[in-house]
C-alpha cells in the first residue's frame, strides 16, 4: 500500500507551517483552520493542504506545500470564505458576551445576575443575507442556565435570547430579545447518582479472544480476512477509508462522510434560523472523542491515535480517536436439510472501525462494518441531547413537541452525505438504477404475478440525481463494464439505501440552497480532484449553491469513467419524551453489497463454529 496516503505526521505538520510562514505573506493575526494530507490521485510525492485564516475578516487562503522540499507549490485566495468555527474564536465569543452590558441587562430582566451558571453555545449562523454579518465570521449564541455544574444545560434554555457575535473580533453585534419565558425547573440530570438505585439484575458479559484478534494493524494499514484498507481521521470528515480492497480487488478509492446538515423545522422566531453543517462548520474529526475501553468499545480493541493541528499550527495528538475491533453479530448463513437433518451454520463476524464525535448537544458515532461475505456498511449512531426550547407564548407545539415539563424540542433532520469514490475492479465504473415493477398485463403474464427489476444506466450528472423509493425496491448498482464474472455479467456492487428522507425545508429557503446535496439521496459525478465536499469546501455562512449543484450543472457524462457516488441518508427526528434527558441511540446508514462481484457466496470457506452443542 502506498505511503502517499498515510496521514500527516507531527513533523510534516511542522514542515508545512514553517513553509507557509517562510513566504512572509502571513500577518500576526493569521492562524490555521485545517492542515491535512493532500490525497489527490496521481500525486507522486506527499503534499499538505493548509487552510489559512489570514485575519479577522471573511477570507481564506488555501496553500499547498510539497513536504519533501518544504516549498509552497500553490497559494489560492478565497475572498469571502469562512472556515469551520475555531475553538479559540468560539471561546472569544463567549467571553465577549460576559462583558456585554446589553446582554447582562437581558439576563437581569430574567432574574439572572450570577453568571457562574451560564452556559453559552455558539452556533454557526447560516446565511440570511444580514448586512451586519457581511464580511465577518459570526456565531449565534444561545444560552442555558445550570444551578449546579452537574445539571444538564439543555434542561433550562434561556428562551427568547439570541446574540450575534463577531467571533474573530470578539464583538457583540446584536442582542436579540424576543421576550421572557420561564426557565423550566427540572435540571434534566442523567448521571448514575441521579437515577439510583441502579438495576442489579444485569449479569456480566465478557468478550474474550484468547488467541488475539484476527486483524493486523500496521500504522494505519488494516487487514482482516480478505479485506485491506488504510484508515485515517480527517479533521472535518472524521473517519476516512482509503484503497479498500477485497482479495486484492479494488472496491473503493476513498470513502467518508464528507458533509452533514441538521436543519430544524420550527418556524417560530428564535428557532427558525437553526441549522448546522457539523462537518464543514465544526468538524467530525476535530470533535472526535478519545475512546475508552469497556465503555465506548468492548472486547479486544486496537486504537488509532490521530494527529491534527491546532489554530496555531501546532501538531496535537488525539489519543484513541478510532477504535478497531471484531464483533460477533449472529449468524452469517444457515440451512437445515430437512431430508437428512444435516445442519450447516456459520457465525457472522464483522470488523468495526469506529469514531464518536461530540458536536455541541449531539453525539454521533460512525461505524464502518466489514463483513465476511464481501459486503460493507456504514452505520451512524445518533445520541446525546436534543436542542431544546422553553415553552413560550410563541410556542407552536406541532413544530416542537413537549419532552419534559415546560420544555420542548423542535423537529429536525440529520442528513449525512457519504462520498464514495468507487473503483469496482478498477477505476472506470458506471452507475445503474434498479427498480422492480409489476409486469404489464399481457399474454406473457396471464396470472398477473410477474414482476422484474429493470436497470437504467445513469448517463449524466442531471440524470443521476435520484431519491429512494422503497415501494419499488430501488437500489443503485455500481458496475465495471469491462470486467465480467464467471456467469458473464459485469462485476458490480449495489448501494442499498436505508429508509431515508430528503431535506424537508422548502425550495427557496436559505437552507435548501445551502444544503442542496440533501435534496437528493443520490448524486454521481466524474472524479475531479478539487470536488471533495457536497456543499463546497467552505459551507460556513455560504449563501448556497456550492458543491454538488454547481458541479453537476455542467451535466458531465458518467459512462465508463471514474465515478464518485454521493449518498445522502439520515433521519427526520420527531422528539419523544423518551429522548429526554439523553437520547437512546437511533441509527441510520447504508450498505454496499457485492452483486456479481463474486461468482457465488464468497463465505463458504468460513469454518463452522467449534463449540456447537
Question: Alpha carbon of 569 to those of 29, 141, 260, 414, 557: distances in Å?
Answer: 39, 29, 9, 8, 24
Burial 369-384 (b: 16+ CB within 10 A, else e): bbbbbbbbbbbbbbbb
Residues 544-573 that bind Ni ion (CB under 5 A): 573
In this structure, is the dihedral angle defined by the CA atoms of residues 121, 125, 130 and 131, taken in order, positive or negative? positive
Binding letters toward Ni ion, positions 27-56, x by CB under 5 A? ------------------------------
To Ni ion, the closest distance from the beta carbon of 403 in angstroms equals 11
Pairing of strands 362-371, 376-384: antiparallel
Copy the grid coordinates of residue 540.
Answer: 460556513
Looking only at residues 96 through 135 of this chain, which bind Ni ion when binding is defined by CB under 5 A?
A: none
Kindly state the smallest distance separating residue 176's Cβ from Ni ion, in Å: 24
Q: How far is the CB of 357 from Ni ion (least distance, A)?
A: 14
Residues in binding contact with Ni ion, number by CB under 5 A: 1
Identity of the residue, 110 or 573, whose beta carbon is nearer to Ni ion in the bound complex: 573
- Give the shortest CB-335-to-Ni ion separation in angstroms: 41
Which among 545, 540, 549 is positioned nearest to 51, based on CA atoms?
540
Q: Which is nearer to Ni ion, 371 or 573 (CB)?
A: 573
In the complex, minimum distance from the CB of residue 433 to Ni ion, in angstroms, rounded to a whole number: 30
Site string for Ni ion, 420-449 (x = CB under 5 A): ------------------------------
Q: Taking the complex as a whole, how short is the minimal distance between the CB of residue 274 and Ni ion, in angstroms?
A: 12
CB of 386 to Ni ion, least distance (A): 6
Binding flag, residue 137, Ni ion (CB under 5 A): no
Residues 6+ apart with CB under 8 A from 470: 499
Residue carrying the nine cell digits 434560523: 273
Whole-Å CA distances, 350 to 238, 344, 347, 407? 21, 20, 10, 41
Q: How far is the CB of 410 from Ni ion (least distance, A)?
A: 10
**Cβ–Cβ under 8 Å, residues 578 and 584:** yes
C-alpha cell at 26: 502571513
Phi, psi (deg, nearest 5) at residue 233: -120, 115
Active-site annotation holds for 362: yes
Start-to-end CA span in the chain (Å): 43
Beta bridge partners of 142: 121
The DSSP line for 546-609 is -SHHHHHTT--B-TTB-EEEEEEEEEEE---GGGSSSEEEEEEEEEEEESSSSSS-TTTTSPPP
The residues in 570-589 that bind Ni ion, with binding defined as CB under 5 A, are 573
User: Is 364 a residue of the active site?
Assistant: no
Residue 299, SS3? coil
Task: Find the Cα–Cα–Cα–Cα dihedral 14, 16, 17, 19, rounded to 10°.
Answer: 120
Residue 28, all three cell numbers? 500576526
What lies within 8 Å, CB to CB, of 135 at 6+ separation is 57, 58, 80
Euclidean distance between CA atoms 94 and 170, whole angstroms: 8
- Nearer to Ni ion by Cβ, of 254 and 573: the residue is 573
245: three-class secondary structure by DSSP = strand
CB nearer Ni ion, residue 361 or residue 375:
361
Nearer to Ni ion, 325 or 573 (CB): 573
Peptide bond preceding 581: is omega within 30 degrees of 0, i.e. cis? yes
**Number of residues in the chain:** 613
Q: How far is the CB of 414 from Ni ion (least distance, A)?
A: 6
Our CB check for Ni ion shows the closer of 415 and 492 to be 415
Of 156 and 573, the one with the shorter C-beta distance to Ni ion is: 573
Q: Which is nearer to Ni ion, 321 or 404 (CB)?
A: 404
- Looking at the Cβ atoms of 301 and 404, the one nearer to Ni ion is 404
Q: By C-beta, is 550 or 582 nearer to Ni ion?
A: 582
* Assigned C-alpha cell, 148: 449546579
Write down the least CB distance from residue 238 to Ni ion, Å: 18
Decide whether 320 or 500 has the Cβ nearer to Ni ion: 500
Residue 296 near residue 356, CB atoms below 8 Å? yes
Query: Pick from 213, 125, 203, 106: which is nearest to 164 by CA?
Result: 125
Q: One of 246, 362, 367, 369 is an active-site residue; which one?
A: 362
Please count the helices (runs of H) and the strands (runs of E) in the chain. 5, 30
Query: Looking at beta carbons, which residue is closest to Ni ion?
Result: 573
CB of 412 to Ni ion, least distance (A): 6
The partner residues of 440 in beta bridges, in order of sequence, read none
The radius of gyration of the chain's CA atoms, rounded to the nearest angstrom, is 26
Instruction: Select which of 166, 278, 363, 421 is catalytic.
Output: 278
Tell me the three-class secondary structure of 267-286, residue by residue: CCCCCCCCEECHHHHHCCCC
Catalytic center residues: 278, 362
Contact positions vs Ni ion (CB under 5 A):
573
Amino acid at each position: 500500500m502506498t505511503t502517499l496516503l498515510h496521514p500527516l505526521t507531527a513533523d510534516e505538520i511542522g514542515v508545512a507551517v514553517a513553509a507557509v510562514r517562510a513566504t512572509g505573506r502571513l500577518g500576526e493575526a493569521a492562524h490555521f483552520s485545517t492542515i491535512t494530507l493532500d490525497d489527490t490521485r496521481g500525486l507522486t510525492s506527499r503534499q499538505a493542504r493548509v487552510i489559512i485564516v489570514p485575519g479577522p475578516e471573511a477570507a481564506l487562503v488555501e496553500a499547498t506545500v510539497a513536504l519533501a522540499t518544504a516549498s509552497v507549490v500553490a497559494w489560492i485566495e478565497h475572498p469571502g470564505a469562512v472556515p469551520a468555527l475555531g475553538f479559540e474564536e468560539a471561546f472569544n465569543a463567549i467571553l465577549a458576551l460576559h462583558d456585554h452590558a446589553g446582554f447582562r441587562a437581558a439576563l437581569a430582566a430574567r432574574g439572572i445576575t450570577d453568571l457562574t451558571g451560564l452556559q453559552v453555545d455558539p452556533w454557526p449562523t447560516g446565511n440570511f443575507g444580514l448586512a451586519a454579518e457581511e464580511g465577518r465570521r459570526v456565531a449565534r449564541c444561545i444560552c442555558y442556565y445550570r444551578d449546579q455544574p452537574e445539571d444538564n444545560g439543555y434542561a433550562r434554555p434561556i428562551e427568547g435570547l439570541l446574540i450575534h457575535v463577531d467571533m474573530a473580533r470578539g464583538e457583540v453585534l446584536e442582542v436579540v430579545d424576543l421576550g421572557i419565558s420561564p426557565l423550566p425547573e427540572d435540571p434534566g440530570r442523567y448521571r448514575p447518582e441521579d437515577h439510583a438505585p441502579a438495576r442489579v439484575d444485569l449479569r456480566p458479559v465478557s468478550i474474550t479472544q484468547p488467541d488475539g484478534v484476527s486483524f493486523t494493524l500496521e500504522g494505519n494499514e488494516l487487514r482482516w480476512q480478505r479485506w485491506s484498507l488504510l484508515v485515517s481521521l480527517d479533521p472535518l470528515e472524521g473517519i476516512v477509508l482509503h484503497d479498500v480492497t477485497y482479495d486484492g480487488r479494488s472496491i473503493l478509492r476513498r470513502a467518508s462522510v464528507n458533509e452533514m446538515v441538521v436543519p430544524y423545522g420550527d418556524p417560530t422566531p428564535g428557532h427558525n434560523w437553526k441549522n448546522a453543517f457539523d462537518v464543514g462548520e465544526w468538524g467530525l474529526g476535530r470533535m472526535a472523542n478519545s475512546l475508552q475501553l469497556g465503555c465506548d468499545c468492548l472486547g479486544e480493541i486496537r486504537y488509532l491515535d490521530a494527529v491534527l493541528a491546532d489554530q496555531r499550527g501546532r501538531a496535537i495528538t488525539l489519543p484513541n480517536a478510532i477504535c478497531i475491533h471484531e464483533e460477533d453479530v449472529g449468524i452469517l448463513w444457515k440451512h437445515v436439510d430437512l431430508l437428512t437433518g444435516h445442519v450447516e451454520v456459520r457465525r457472522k463476524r464483522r470488523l468495526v472501525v469506529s469514531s464518536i464525535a461530540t458536536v455541541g448537544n449531539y453525539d454521533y458515532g460512525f461505524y464502518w462494518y466489514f463483513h465476511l461475505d464481501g459486503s460493507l456498511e456504514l452505520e451512524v449512531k445518533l445520541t446525546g441531547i436534543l436542542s431544546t426550547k422553553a415553552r413560550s407564548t410563541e410556542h407552536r407545539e406541532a413544530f416542537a413537541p413537549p419532552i419534559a415539563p415546560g420544555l420542548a424540542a423542535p423537529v429536525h433532520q440529520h442528513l449525512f452525505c457519504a462520498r464514495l469514490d468507487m473503483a469496482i475492479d478498477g477505476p472506470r465504473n458506471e452507475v445503474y438504477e434498479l427498480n422492480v415493477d409489476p409486469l404489464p398485463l399481457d399474454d406473457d403474464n396471464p396470472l398477473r404475478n410477474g414482476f422484474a427489476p429493470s436497470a437504467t444506466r445513469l448517463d449524466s450528472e442531471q440524470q443521476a440525481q435520484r431519491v429512494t423509493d422503497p415501494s419499488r425496491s430501488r437500489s443503485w448498482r455500481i458496475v465495471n463494464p469491462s470486467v465480467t464474472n464467471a456467469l458473464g455479467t459485469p462485476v458490480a456492487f449495489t448501494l442499498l439505501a436505508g429508509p431515508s428522507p430528503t431535506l424537508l425545508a422548502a425550495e427557496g429557503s436559505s437552507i435548501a440552497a445551502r444544503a442542496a446535496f440533501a435534496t437528493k439521496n443520490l448524486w454521481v459525478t466524474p472524479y475531479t480532484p478539487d470536488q471533495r465536499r457536497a456543499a463546497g469546501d467552505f459551507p460556513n455562512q455560504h449563501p448556497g449553491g456550492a458543491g454538488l449543484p454547481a458541479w453537476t450543472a455542467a451535466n458531465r457524462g458518467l459512462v465508463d469513467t471514474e465515478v464518485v457516488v454521493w449518498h445522502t441518508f439520515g433521519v427526520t427526528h420527531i422528539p419523544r419524551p423518551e429522548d429526554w434527558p439523553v437520547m437512546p441511540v437511533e441509527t441510520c446508514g447504508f450498505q454496499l453489497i457485492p452483486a456479481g462481484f463474486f461468482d457465488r457466496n464468497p463465505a463458504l470457506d468460513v469454518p463452522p463454529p467449534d463449540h456447537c452443542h
